[in-house]
Amino acid sequence: MAALVRNQPVDDALDHPYLDYVATLFILTGWLGFNLAPAGSFRHLGPLIIVNTLTAVLGATCGWLILANRNKLRITDMSNGIICGLVTSTALVGYVSTSAILLVALVSGVVCHWSCNLLAGSSNLYDPVDSFAINGVGGLIGTIGLTLFASLNINPQGASGLIAGNLQFTVAELTAILTTITITVVGTLISYGLIKSISVLVPQSRKDEVF
């Protein structure tokens, strides 16, 4: 995959493909630690978490490439797919089987790429670094995947999901999702209101410098 994109023309001398490779490697390495930390010890869930994290990266990257331009693959396609897989994996990496996380990540790769394209073409929604399209949507899909596929056979200290018939856990997770969305929307509206208020108070001569 890297061989397909390494010879693409570079518009900016500072935007070198090898820098993208290194940055993505750092993110991947750091995220493995991020996913491993809640396990407490490597012996209990460490191997599963590593395998599931890498499986999620593979699944999301494949899903991302389904909607990519096959005639012009870019390094950002691979990088975004990897990050999408990492974001998706966090919620469920220590609670579901490898086959389950592969399916969830594959779906997440497709949906996140579609979300990026949708927001990029919108004149009303502004997401210049694809933060919501990847982190927001990918995290949401990962949490839904946890709600569906969580298994006590994988992690006896966890919970079973909806497929195993645990409706109580499903309700708790959906409540958490709705609460998070509500807090995020309210916080965003408050922040937007404060920015608009500050913009009104700043004299026009200063607006061009500040905003």
Give the domain CATH number at 117: 1.10.3430.10
Domain holding 8, by residue range, is 2-165
Give domain status of residue 36, yes or no. yes
Q: With respect to residue 155, please indicate whether it lies within any of the assigned structural domains.
A: yes
Q: Residue 205: which pLDDT band, with cuts at 50, 70 and 90?
A: low
Residue at token pair 């397909």: 4
Task: Give me the phi and psi of 9, to 5 degrees please.
Answer: -60, 145
Residue 204 lies in a domain: no
The answer to whether position 206 is within a domain reads no
138-192 tens-digit pLDDT = 999 999 999 999 999 999 988 999 999 999 999 999 999 999 999 999 999 999 8
Q: What is the per-residue pLDDT across 90-119, written as a single tens digit (0 to 9) for each?
A: 999 999 999 999 999 999 999 999 999 999
CA separation for the pair 64, 6 (Å, rounded): 18
- pTM of the model as a whole: 0.82
| Residue 13 scores a pLDDT above 70 | no
Is 160 inside any structural domain?
yes
Average pLDDT value for residue range 40-46: 83
Distance in angstroms (rounded) separating the CA atoms of residues 122 and 75: 24
Q: Which residue has the higher pLDDT, 68 or 203?
A: 68
Specify if 16 maps to a domain: yes
Task: Give φ, ψ of 70 to 5 degrees.
Answer: -65, -25
Q: Which two tokens stand for residue 4?
A: 């397909």
Can you give the pLDDT at residue 5? Answer: 46
Domains: count for the chain: 1
Share of the chain above pLDDT 90, in %: 61
Alpha carbon distance, N-terminus to C-terminus of the chain: 41
Give 92 or 201, the one with higher predicted confidence.
Answer: 92
Query: Is 178 domain-assigned?
Result: no
